[in-house]
Amino acid sequence: MSDKKYVLGLDYGSDSARAVLVDAATGDEIATSVKHYPRWIEGKYCDPARDQYRQHPLDYIEVMEYIVKDTLKKAGPGFAEKVVGISFDTTGSTPVFVNEEGTPLALLPEFAENPNAMFVLWKDHTAVKEAAEINELARKWKIDYTKYEGGIYSSEWVWAKVLHVLRSDEKVRKAAYSWIEHCDWMPALITGRVKPGEVIRSRCSAGHKAMWHESWGGLPEEEFLTALDPLLAGYRDRLYKDTYTADVRVGNLTPEWAERLGLTTRVAVGVGAFDCHMGAVGGGVTPNVLARAIGTSTCDIMIAPYDQIGDKLIAGICGQVDGSVIPGYVGLEAGQSGFGDIYAWFKRVISWPLENILADTTIVDAETRAKLIEETEDKIIPKLSEAAMKIPVEESTVIAVDWMNGRRTPDASQEVTGSIAGLKLGSDAPRIFRALVEATAFGSKAIVDRFAREGVRIDGVIGLGGVAKKSPFVMQTLADVLNMPIKVARTVETCAVGAAMFATVAAGVHSNVEEAQKAMAKGFEKEYTPNPANVKAYAEIYEKYVKLGAFTEREKI
């Protein structure tokens, strides 16, 4: 092991974070650790009825310390001093307000319990009104600052969120000096570059969510921001002009953080990026292949050569950004605001009697009740999948639209809602569940169709994430609806491994991302191919999905 070098990839998801220790030369995974955010799991600072989802910065810090040290402990003696690099991926857009010193306001005693002083998670949809105002102003302005972000600005993105918080909370407004994305804060924190003027900002987050583009000198001009609301005055000057791709080194671990993490100050720290972008790299994305990170939501990533994109403006996606995935290519992002979350919602609906009736029974003791509830809930989705898979496609009389958490792509709107139609007295739980699975597949087809309509060639599809690896029913349905083969990446923690690949470049082990990917990627474990009979049937059902979606959106149901 004397000449070996290792890197850490840290992946911050919606509910938990995980670390993976990887051999920098081969990509072999040595050890990994996962931990849920303690405050988040308790439901603190969130109000689902209002679409408010906030995360405390202490969750991020405490979990980072745990998973890094736990990973090194599992790896065994001798590994820590051989770690040469660390990189982060996070959800996004997930911004927080900071003071002049770069400290997130929630880390100050007076804001410790204020959700508005915390990170605003990607799926927080409290800023729908502000997003609509941004879109309205952008249409009239001399430059449409949304044009490289699909032409529609979303409430999931940073400017809508910060404006909403500024309007909502006077105390936060007075204390705030600037804002920072989660993927930028993590590298800044452990390298000591937290002051707003010192932070190395991610090209990925800036280009896809903050309307940054080099053609207009960075972020939208001050006049645009103040026309949107005078509360935004001065923020542009206190933010950034330049951005950096994720292969760039931010700096090295500070002595304090080297000690806290059990590492050395020789560890290089790379620029952060969003989870799905690094996940696509970890899963083996290549030009014109659609990498789908399928979990609570989906994030769909492609890289395209410059000559293929040219001057095209691809409408209705989540951005086209030079170098946001792999430097040297244009990164394209799309996705669905709800995928696995929709299945989880249905599970909660049919679990209501367990939580509200069985939980109160006196027939069995408390310990037995808890075990019954846990075992039953764990089996709901697998049993529904098993039963739904047996229902012939031609009997899929229930039609659903997958907008329970709004629509990300194509044409972002967090005002639309999901719908279910075609219900009969014989529509049992497996049939409704099958309709929901089909709806998520139809939402995926809408994205693929939009790319095709905009002239973006898709040569193949890669499935990443928990749903891709754990649900043959969902993946086969997806292959049938898309009428495309889908390869499932062998790597389990593709986002963390992707971050590790970037860490090797930041640390100088590999000269570029493609070299790291070639040396470290682990290929694919399975391929789903379309069933011709189902392909034909789903083509007809998809038209009904489109009509139902148009109706519910038009009628604002």
In the chain, domain spans? 6-124+163-208+236-283+492-521, 340-490+525-554
Question: In tens digits, what is the pLDDT along the chain, a chain of 557 residues?
Answer: 568 999 999 999 999 999 999 999 999 999 999 999 999 999 999 998 899 999 999 999 999 999 999 999 999 999 999 999 999 999 999 999 999 999 999 999 999 999 999 999 999 999 999 999 999 999 999 999 999 999 999 999 999 999 999 999 999 999 999 999 999 999 999 999 999 999 999 999 999 999 999 999 999 999 999 999 999 999 999 999 999 999 999 999 999 999 999 999 999 999 999 999 999 999 999 999 999 999 888 999 999 999 999 999 999 999 999 999 999 999 999 999 999 999 999 999 999 999 999 988 889 999 999 999 999 999 999 999 999 999 999 888 899 999 998 999 999 898 899 999 999 999 999 999 999 999 999 999 999 999 999 999 999 999 998 899 999 999 999 999 999 999 999 999 999 999 999 999 999 999 999 999 999 999 999 999 999 999 999 999 999 999 999 999 999 88
pLDDT for 215 equals 96
**Would you state the torsion angle of the CA atoms of residues 438, 442, 444, 445, taken in this order, to the nearest 10 degrees?**
140
User: CATH for 6-124+163-208+236-283+492-521?
Assistant: 3.30.420.40
Number of neighbours of residue 544 by Cβ within 10 angstroms: 15
pLDDT for 556 equals 86
How far is C-alpha 390 from the chain's CA centre? 32
Q: Which residues pair with 16 in a beta bridge?
A: 36
State the angle between helix axes of 494-506 and 513-520 in degrees (0 to 180), rounded to the nearest 10.
130
Alpha-carbon Rg for the chain, nearest whole angstrom, is: 23
pLDDT for 128 equals 95
Cβ pair 343, 332 in contact under 8 A: no
Rounded-to-integer distance, Cα 30 and Cα 36, Å: 21
pLDDT for 485 equals 97
pLDDT for 120 equals 98
Rounded-to-integer distance, Cα 404 and Cα 345, Å: 9
SS3 label, residue 202: strand
pLDDT for 1 equals 52
pLDDT for 295 equals 86
pLDDT for 2 equals 66
pLDDT for 383 equals 97
Helical H runs in 390-493? Answer: 429-453, 466-470, 472-482
If DSSP states are collapsed to H, E and C, what string results for 403-431? CECEECCCCCECCCCCEEECCCCCCCHHH
Residue with tokens 């310390």: 65
Burial pattern 379-395, b for ≥16 Cβ within 10 A else e, equals ebbeebbebbeebebee
Count of alpha carbons within 13 angstroms of residue 323, beta-carbon side: 17
User: CATH for 340-490+525-554?
Assistant: 3.30.420.40
pLDDT for 396 equals 83
Rounded-to-integer distance, Cα 341 and Cα 53, Å: 14
Question: Do 6-124+163-208+236-283+492-521 and 340-490+525-554 show the same overall fold?
Answer: yes
